[in-house]
């Protein structure tokens, strides 16, 4: 299911483990995963959705985007160290590469994604 942020909804612990924490065994490229922890009642989360959607379009084929409702999967949020929402975490091969807590501007989130891609050697230089 696609969420308002544009990402796929993670609806189980197993799905989180498979899509975010585990390396892909199917031969496809491992991409960084942007995980938005939010809840339907959270005002700042609703403000974050369009920012995440824009980032998803900007970094198409460079990152994957998923969303987790902390109401539905509180244990996943707790295990990830999420104390408040919205929280955005960038994962690569099961490791947290960066965390942003609270409402965030597009340029701040883009810098975070760029830094992760650069650290992984995946950022293509634009001339």
Active-site annotation, residues: 42, 45
Contact between residue 50 and residue 108 where contact means Cβ atoms under 8 Å apart: no
User: Phi and psi at residue 92, in whole multiples of 5°?
Assistant: -145, 125
Q: How far is CA 35 from CA 14, 32, 61, in A?
A: 15, 10, 16
Contact between residue 94 and residue 20 where contact means Cβ atoms under 8 Å apart: yes
User: Phi and psi at residue 106, in whole multiples of 5°?
Assistant: -60, -45
Contact between residue 88 and residue 103 where contact means Cβ atoms under 8 Å apart: no
Classify the C-alpha dihedral 67-19-116-75 as positive or negative.
positive
């Amino acid at each position: 299911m696609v969420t308002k942020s544009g990402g796929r909804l993670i609806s189980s612990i197993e799905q989180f483990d498979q899509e975010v924490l585990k390396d892909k065994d199917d031969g496809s490229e491992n991409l960084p995963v942007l995980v938005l922890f939010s809840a339907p009642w959270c005002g700042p989360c609703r403000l974050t959705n369009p920012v995440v959607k824009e980032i998803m379009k900007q970094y198409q084929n460079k990152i994957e985007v998923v969303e987790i409702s902390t109401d539905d999967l509180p244990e996943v949020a707790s295990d990830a160290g999420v104390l408040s929402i919205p929280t955005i975490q960038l994962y690569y091969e099961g490791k947290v590469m960066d965390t942003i807590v609270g409402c965030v501007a597009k340029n701040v989130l883009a810098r975070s994604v760029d830094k992760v891609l650069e650290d992984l050697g995946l950022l293509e230089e634009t001339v």
